Structure 1
Amino acid sequence: IDKIRVSNPAPAVPQPAVPAHPRIPEVFHPVPEIIQPLPEAFHPVPEVVHPAPRQPPVNMSRVFYGIMFDAGSTGTRIHIYKFIQKDPIELPVLDHEMYHAVKPGLSAYKDNPEEGGNTVRQLLKIAKKTVPEEDWPRTPVVLKATAGLRLLPEDKAHTLLKEVQEVFEESPFFVPDNSVSIMNGTNEGVLAWVTVNFLTGHLYSKTRRTVGILDLGGGSTQITFLPKSKKTIQSAPHTYIANFNLFNHTYQLYTHSYLGNGLYAARLATLGALGADDLDWKVFTSSCLPKKFREDVTFGGTTYQVSGIPDGYAGYKLCYYEVMKVIKGIVHQPYEVKGSSTFYAFSYYFDRAVESGLIDGSRGGEIEVRDFKNRAKEVCNKMAKYRAISPFLCMDMTYITCLLKEGFGFKDSTVLRLAKKVNNVETSWALGATFDYFRNLNIH
């Protein structure tokens, strides 16, 4: 990233909040070669009097940390970021990320909030080991919950968040106002876009050649990109367009989060189980599952009985038809998604591509939408072979195929870049949310 920032410095923006160094009067007589070193306290200005390069002197560099919790529907993750602020105006340089995750997600503790709080307490122990003790009082700790808590009844979600707030208050870190909240879907998409474009260097360049993001969580799924065409913005529902400011520049993004269309929620919706009642005696069946498969599935703290169709048919075509019901008429197709934009796809897109053998888990890789389709057919028509990996692999791969093609409207030949990490940092909204905390991107 550092290389990118140096070759493409962002425009300098005057910022009154930063104490300006005293102006150096122009010196006409030659400056003596050697300047007697003074104690550091007496150096309000850089030592060099001839015009200094744009890069600030080293003693301005400031190291600071941020702790961001991602409370998702299938797990709670902690991201501990170490930043170096080399320039008061530009984005800081990310020096390091420490990442750890626990399962299940907070929503699984809807009837036992204390236990949910304990999972956060465990993760804070890692933060104490990672952040130097002298930095604890000024290191903000923030938790943002996503679809798992959005799908819960409001009172249960509120109780869980209150529990987390108490765990934060007893920690040695800085607890800002509104440090525990449910994030809205728009921010989830925008901040994931900020993360990926920061890590790929696109936020520093003036070319405006950014990449789009596709995020598939357990409870919701997000699509976000910077439209090249006015028609995309004009033809989209107005709530799908978000603006935010960075470097005195306003970005106008197409973004939407589909609640209930994350992978685990979509499984239940395909089965007709999401939101159903009388769960004790109902068994939810699908031709996307192996015929002899039967087990209890828990999502968001609720358990459902699920099975294949023992005397029926199974396979890709029937499964596609079932999955279609969850997507058709629900997912908006943006005007220019059929174009040549690059999209990064992560979370469950990545995980399922690895499990089905489409990509190597350590490296990620580029695939076309049709690769998901072809592999989904193979998995569904050889369910016995893939059952050991996951009895839901046929349903998941078919759902991903259907979401990309019938949902968003991608062509078979659209290339997706599948990545779990970029430059060794997790691709998730958490880094963007940390920037938002430190810089207020003013998303609306």
Structure 2
Amino acid sequence: MTAQKTKPSPSTLSTIKEWTTSMKIPKLAFVFLLVVCLVVYLTYVKRHFESTQMSKSQLEQLYKSELHKRPTSAEVVSEVFHYGIMFDAGSTGTRIHIFQFQSDPNAATKLGSETFKAIKPGLSAYADDPQKCKEGLLTLLEVAKKTVPPDQWGSTPLALRATAGLRLLPGEKATHLLDTVKEVFSKSSFPHRPDSVSIMDGTDEGVSAWITVNFLLGGLHGSDVPTVGMLDLGGGSTQITFSPQDEKTIQTSPIDYVTSFQMFNTSHNLYSHSYLGLGLMSARLAVLGGVEGQPVGGGQELVSPCLAPDYTGEWEHAEVIYTLKGQKAGEPIYESCLSKVEKMIYKRVQKAEEVKHMEFYAFSYYYDRAVDLGLIDEKNGGSLRVGDYIAGAKTVCKNMEASSGENPFLCLDLTYISVLLQELGFPLEKELKLARKINDVETSWALGATFYYMESLHRH
């Protein structure tokens, strides 16, 4: 029997048509969703790739920048710190200066830091018993050991320079003191030579102070910064030092006023002289009528017109006590004192014409008396003209006609300073700079003497 084919009913056809139509919609949605996902994915990959490339570029730049900032091994090796130790054995105390230097073959030597400590009294106080000075020296050496790294003790030069205090002692007593210092130094951990301990002469003191000032101002190392002159007024002597720019200055100056030396691979010719006996205290004694180191016998007094008429008192200088008295009222004090000062200093000072045109720094009693007058700040220093000392002297001396005031010697000291500066060649309108520190470093001779000593070690 043959099976008969049956046709779908109309209702069945309608159902199939609806199902077929409903299946087409999800397929289109799926295709659309697939396309959207592909676009999003490709966009993400592209952006991620660009972001990765940017980060990599930034990292490379940062790495190069850090490499540029970091010192090379050669630079690290070239930055060497070393030290120098200088003892300043003055009349009133002994001071230690420990200088840290930074050396670079491609740059000028720089001062890193300074460690300073002072003790009293000075070495000269132990003239009759030199062994007693050992304790103070050992105390200062301990400061050096705490400052200098132990691995550099053996390469750090040690020196002592004595000034006025030992110059005034009899030769034998001074020698015994210096021998004691050498004995202490020989047992220290720092190297020294036979010439490490000595008495500094006045010219070396002036040259060393000149080196200090010009190093701190940047005038050494062959730079374009012009050097400045230096004036120092101590108690027993006074120094003037400058670098002559006019050949005539060298030709017309006494031969012992001109000195030459080499430092930092540069040669320097200097006009430098120390006037022994023209320091402020020695000059004061001479104006008052006394003689250095000689007491006035028989209870006699030194009578002077440079003191107030009502003044009587005692003054100690170089371990000698003098009895002083003011002259009876008569002529004005300033004019009378000026005459005494001019007679005392007459023809004892060499005039240098070139100083009129050079910049000068002044220290020590030049500084102190300017502070007493209120012309400069005690801490920061300042500038003044030579004529300011004269005006100050006239005012102080005039006031002393009524009373000696707190400082009975101020009239005499200011008068002497004003005359000394003029005798050295400075006109009244000449401006001087007064500073106790430059760049926070003391303007003493110690730094210059340390450089000078270290240069001599290198030459040998």
| TM-score, normalising length: structure 1 | 0.80
Task: Give the aligned residue type for 1:291.
Answer: P
Structure 2 residue 278 is the aligned partner of structure 1 residue 261: yes
Alpha-carbon spacing, 1:379–1:229, altered in 2? closer, same or farther (3 Å): same
1:278 & 1:247 partners in 2: Cα distance?
48
Matched position secondary structure for 1:63 = strand
| Aligned partner of residue 210 in structure 2, secondary structure | helix
More displaced 10-residue stretch of structure 1: 430-439 or 390-399: 390-399
Structure 2 match to 1:402: 419
Partner of 1:157 in structure 2?
Answer: 174
Kept after mapping to 2: 8 A contact 1:76/1:104: yes
Matched, 1:428 2:444: yes
Q: Distance in 1 between matches of 2:119 and 2:309?
A: 32
1:360 counterpart (365, 368, 377)? 377
Judge which range, 133-142 or 185-194, deviates more: 133-142
In terms of mean alpha carbon deviation, does 303-312 or 230-239 score higher?
303-312
1:284 paired with 2:314, answer no
What residue is the counterpart of 1:186 in the other structure?
203
Task: Please list the CA deviations of residues 95-121 of structure 1 after superposition, one character each: whole Å capped at 9, or x if unmatched.
Answer: 111233345543344334344454444
Q: Structure 1: how far apart are the matches of 2:94 and 2:184?
A: 15
Question: What secondary structure is seen at the aligned counterpart in 1 of 2:321?
Answer: strand
Which of 197, 219, 234 is the aligned partner of 1:217? 234
> Is structure 2 residue 434 aligned with structure 1 residue 418?
yes
Q: Following superposition of structure 1 onto structure 2, how do residues 98-117 of structure 1 map, counting pairs within 5 Å?
A: 98-117=115-134
Matching residue's letter, 1:95? G
What SS is found at the alignment partner of 2:223? coil
Find 1:438's aligned residue among 434, 454, 460: 454
Distance 1:396 1:236, change over 3 A: same
Percent of matched pairs sharing the same residue? 48
- The Cα offsets for residues 113-167 of structure 1, whole Å up to 9 and x where unpaired, read as 3444544444334334433444334332211112332233222221222222233
Residue 227 of structure 1: SS of its match in structure 2?
coil
The counterpart of 2:354, out of the listed 315, 318, 336, is 336
Letter in 2 for 1:243: S
Q: Name the aligned partner's letter for residue 288 of structure 1.
A: C
For residues 178 and 396 of structure 1, do their structure 2 counterparts lie closer, same or farther at Cα, with a shift above 3 Å needed?
Answer: same
Q: How do 1:247-326 and structure 2 match up within 5 A?
A: 247-275=264-292, 277-279=294-296, 281-300=299-318, 302-309=319-326, 311-312=328-329, 315-326=333-344
- CA drift of 1:174 comes to 2.9
Q: CA RMSD in A?
A: 2.8
Secondary structure of the residue aligned to 1:440 is helix
| Structure 1 portions without partners, runs of 5+ | 1-32, 38-44, 48-55
Pairing 1:232–2:249 present: yes
Q: Is the contact made by 1:114 and 1:163 (CA closer than 8 Å) also made in structure 2? A: yes
User: 1:380 & 1:425 partners in 2: Cα distance?
Assistant: 35
Matches within 5 A, 1:49-68: 57-68=75-86
Q: Deviations over 1:188-209 (max 9, x none)?
A: 1111111111000111353361
Match of 2:259 in 1: 242
1:382 aligned counterpart, secondary structure: helix
Deviates more, 1:427-436 or 1:323-332: 323-332
Partner Cα distance (2:245, 2:370) in 1: 29
Higher RCO (CA < 8 A, seq sep 6+):
1
CA distance in 1, matches of 2:372, 2:252: 37
Could you say what secondary structure the match of 1:84 adopts? strand
What residue is the counterpart of 2:21 in the other structure? none
Unpaired segments of 5 or more residues in structure 2?
Answer: 1-62
Paired with 1:269 and 1:117, the residues of 2 have a C-alpha distance of 36
CA separation in 1, counterparts of 2:133 and 2:307? 32
Residue 230 of structure 1: how far off its partner (Å): 1.0
CA distance in 2, matches of 1:418, 1:179: 31
Equivalent AA in structure 2 for residue 245 of structure 1: Q
**Are the equivalent residues in 1 in contact too, given 2:305–2:327 (CA < 8 A)?**
no
Between the aligned partners of 1:102 and 1:396, the Cα distance in structure 2 is 28
Structure having the higher Rg: 2
Amino acid at match of 2:355: V
Give, in whole Å, the separation in 2 of the partners of 1:380 and 1:442.
53
Q: CA deviation at 1:349?
A: 1.0
> Conserved in 1, the CA contact under 8 Å of 2:221 and 2:265?
no
Kindly indicate whether the alpha-carbon contact (under 8 Å) linking 1:74 and 1:218 is maintained by their aligned counterparts in 2. Answer: no
> Contact 1:296–1:303 (CA<8 Å) still a contact in 2?
no
Could you list the per-position Cα deviations for residues 262-293 of structure 1 after superposition, in whole angstroms to 9, with x for gaps in the alignment? 11222222223233535453432322233344
